[in-house]
Amino acid sequence: MRPILASVSSNSLFSAGLSASPLASATLPGPGPQYRLSVELCGILGRVHSECLVGATGIVEPQEAGVSVTVADRVRYRVEGFRRERAEEWGGGHPLCGSPPLAGDIVLTSNDYLALGRDPQIISAMCAALRAAGRYRDDQPRTALEVALATHLGASSAILCQSGWEANIGLLQSIGDPDTPVYVDSRAHMSLRYGARIAGAPVFSFRHKNIDTLRALLAMYGPGIIAVDAIDSTAGSQAPVERLCAVAEESGSLLVVDESHTLGVEGPLGAGTVVGLGLTDRVAYRTASLAKAFAGRAGVVTAGDPDFADYFRMHAYPAVFSSAVLGRDIAALTATLALIKAAEPRRVRLREVGLRIRSALGALGFDLAGAAGHIVSLQTGPASHAIAVRDYLADLGVFGSIFCPPATPGDSTLIRFSLHAALTEGQIDRLLTACAAVAHAFGPIPPAPTVSHLTPARDRHCPQAAKGTESSGARNDGVTIVNTVEGVDAAGR
């Protein structure tokens, strides 16, 4: 075993330095068995220590037992509940704390799909911008990059944002409102839901890629905004964008496509899926993180309306209340755009790499969702199983990224390999050999995930999502999730 980079203590966060005090007990009603909560009143600190935190409906807060606590106590209580539950579910490990890679290891945790992140031209452009930086803000480089991105993407306007997260939040907040439903693919990025929440819009989640459930929701709640990821970032499945365009047009809705994992990789000159399919006039808005194939730190929103950019800058909260993208990042992204346009050999190589790896893993018995070549994920079941597989792969010199709730559907986990164009044939052989060893040691199909007490609220309180029955909806954190007769495999990442 390699040394662990970091670890999480399993000792109680409340155990040190607390004076003895009486115990207060309460029996909590609810579905299923009753749960007893023991609360230790911790002297002058006034803190709460629970010995049983979780019931059938989720974490029980101290005030439900009639104990007077402060806001800080309630926050501390939730942190302790999280720590205790995760310590049990993770089996002593931690998904974010594993052994570090060594020289020569195969690291597939970055989204730098074209392997451009260390290109000398990008580094030179960034350094030149740093040396030339003055005291006063110069908007000309940003404007020039936005014009170049709009031209490249076949859009009337493009707006540079601080990140892909803020691009999605700003867009949905700007085009949504309480009278306009937002229909989000259940595996689309969480930022799309949160943008709709800020707008006060009702949000309806439809089963991943399932056009029938989307049509059913539109029939019930009327036209609105349909939001999807062009490629699901966890499993690599591709959205049926052309069919979604038809649904949007038939229902009088708008379509938003997040191209974070396709921009630079798909389409002519890396312009993305929408351009590649010839749908620029049918997709109202596109967004993307520029931290993937562009290997930078920014986001972009495109629109067919040339006046939308000014509206967005004056209306979208991320644009109004965040600092502008730095000049050095703009310079790096400008250089990256030129490289991406000329990177067709790398795109071809990436597709070859993805095809070979997917074919080999399928032959080993792994269940690979989707067809996008550059995102490959191994389903790993319970979190403790995922950590064990992660550590096993690390010992073989292969590193992927663990994904667990709330970034995965339900209580499932996975290990994602973000492939890139610079992988050699020898590295591919080593990766496949390591995965074959995993299949032999653990089996290609993982055990079923256990039900987590820390499942996100919208899953805990929407049992119909698992049963596949119709629900009138549940409101959690200001977001309405409606399950249709087809069911919903809710996810957010």
Q: What is the CATH number of the domain that holds 290?
A: 3.40.640.10
Domain boundary among 318, 341, 364: 341
Do residue 272 and residue 131 come from a single domain? Answer: yes
Q: pLDDT tens across 254-269, in order?
A: 999 999 999 999 999 9
Average pLDDT over residues 7-27: 33
Q: Dump strand ranges (E) for 43-168.
A: 47-50, 54-55, 58-59, 106-107, 157-161
Bigger pLDDT: 63 vs 165: 165
pTM for the structure as a whole: 0.80
Q: pLDDT tens across 212-238, in order?
A: 999 999 999 999 999 999 999 888 889
DSSP codes, 152-208: HHT-SEEEEES-HHHHHHHHHHHH-BTTB-EEEETTS-HHHHHHHHHHT--EEEE-T
Contact 283, 245 (CB under 8 A): yes
Q: Which domain holds residue 377?
A: 106-114+345-442
Closest CA to 193 of 488, 486, 477: 477
Residue 103's Cβ-side half-sphere holds a number of Cα atoms within 13 Å equal to 0
pLDDT above 90: percentage of residues in the chain: 65
Q: What is the reported pLDDT for 60?
A: 54
Do residue 335 and residue 356 come from a single domain? Answer: no
Do residue 302 and residue 432 come from a single domain? Answer: no
Domain count, the chain: 3
Q: What is the reported pLDDT for 1?
A: 62
Residue 467 lies in a domain: no
How far apart, in whole angstroms, are the C-alpha atoms of residue 234 and residue 412? Answer: 11
Confidence band, pLDDT 50/70/90 cuts, at residue 370: low
Domain boundary among 287, 319, 341: 341
Token pair 């591709």: residue:
238
pLDDT above 70: percentage of residues in the chain: 76
Dig out the tokens for 463 from the structure.
């049992």
Q: What is the CATH number of the domain that holds 396?
A: 3.90.1150.10
Residue 221 lies in a domain: yes
Q: What is the reported pLDDT for 172?
A: 98
Task: Verify cis geometry, omega within 30 degrees of 0, for the bond prior to 29.
Answer: no
Is 442 buried (19+), middle (13-18) or exposed (0-12) by CB count in 10 A?
A: middle
